[in-house]
Homo-oligomer: A and B are copies of this chain.
């Protein structure tokens, strides 16, 4: 058995080792129940406790009260691209989208198939290097909601602070940075995130939804796409992806034990700095894709002087136990995903490797 690698995959992504170890210990027999969590009825007391605990932990970490629900759904963030407009974009209305990358484009395109959309801002020019300034955002008149992507997994940009549009519902795809830092979740009408980056394994999508949104969600759509049905049934309308929810709850408990969002923010800033500092002090050997004031702490995108060096970089890194560093084709170069579960040691190792690689090839 080889050692575990430093896994810089963009998602599914690295998980905290203690979480995997706990899951391993409990695999055949969850707390004396005589069965695996995978074998437990979703109507059992044990599973209900996991489900409720996961909701409570999520709300606690986000600082949310009784006017919010947390749902554990299936279908990934891609299904949310359709569910959001199906539930909240009525005929005659318009929904505003701010485009900061491929995922916001996909969200907007899916909504445009179902209703009218307006692009309130886009930073597509220059290949999504930045988050728009508040002044650039041109809302339509009374949109049904405004949709943003808080962190752009592919391009490596991240909203540094969130806009406030008053009474207009703010909806965010936080798939790649949920729980990475302190922020005011109470500003959002709806937040969704595929779990497979910052929350756990794939197979469960976390939806944080404000009570008034549940009340105005559409009811004339397929049952499984109705937020009100899932909220009323406590995410147990049908069989939930129970093992993924269990894993998410273990990750949430781990996050709390690490000190919650304040501690995560500090740690994520330090981790990202280990890598951004090498880029900034490389005299142009490494070039970051994102503008400095839009940089993500979760996905760090950079290029090398040429594609041959980029290939060598990836393969030498792999040999040294650092995997998943090849960037997405729409940016090229490298991408280091440094989610909550990526250790400081992993980032230090990558930082050291980058310096050494530059020394040898610069």
Write the chain B residue with the least CB distance to A17: B28
Contact of A2 among B2, B29, B239 (CB under 8 A): B29
Known: A203-B243, A240-B202. A14 touches B35 (CB 8 A): yes
Copies in the complex: 2
Q: Which residues of B contact A11 (CB under 8 A)?
A: 41, 239
Q: Report A233-285 residues with CB < 8 Å from chain B CB.
A: 237-244, 247
Assuming the contacts A12-B42, A28-B20, A244-B243, asked whether A34 and B203 have C-beta atoms less than 8 A apart, the reply is no
**A202: nearest chain-B partner, CB-CB:** B239
CB–CB B247/A38 < 8 A: yes
A92 within 8 A of partner (CB): no
A297: Cβ under 8 A from any B Cβ:
no
> A27 CA to B23 CA in the complex, in Å?
8
A272 to chain B, nearest CB (A): 20
Q: A74-B74, A202-B243, A247-B38 are in contact. Are A222 and B114 (CB under 8 A)?
A: yes
| Contact (Cβ within 8 A) A79 B86 | no
Contact A242 B12 (CB under 8 A): yes
The listed residue with most B CB atoms (<10 A of its CB), out of A12, A78, A244, is A12
Interface readout for A1-42 with B: 1 if CB under 8 Å, 0 if not? 111110101111111010011011001110011111011111
Once the chains bind, are B224 and A78 in contact (CB under 8 Å)? yes
Interface residues of A in 154-210 (CB under 8 A from B): 194, 196, 200-204
Q: Is A223 an interface residue (CB 8 A)?
A: yes
User: Chain B contacts of A36 at CB under 8 A?
Assistant: 15, 20
Given contacts A27-B20, A196-B239, A203-B203, contact A86 B5 (CB under 8 A): no
What are the 7 tightest A-B residue pairs by CB atom distance, in nearest-first order? Answer: A203-B241, A5-B34, A82-B222, A38-B201, A74-B74, A78-B238, A24-B27
**Known interface pairs A15-B38, A78-B224; 16 further A-B residue pairs with C-beta atoms within 8 A, sorted by A's residue number:** A1-B29, A5-B34, A9-B39, A12-B38, A12-B239, A35-B323, A74-B79, A75-B224, A76-B224, A78-B238, A79-B224, A110-B222, A110-B223, A194-B239, A203-B203, A244-B244
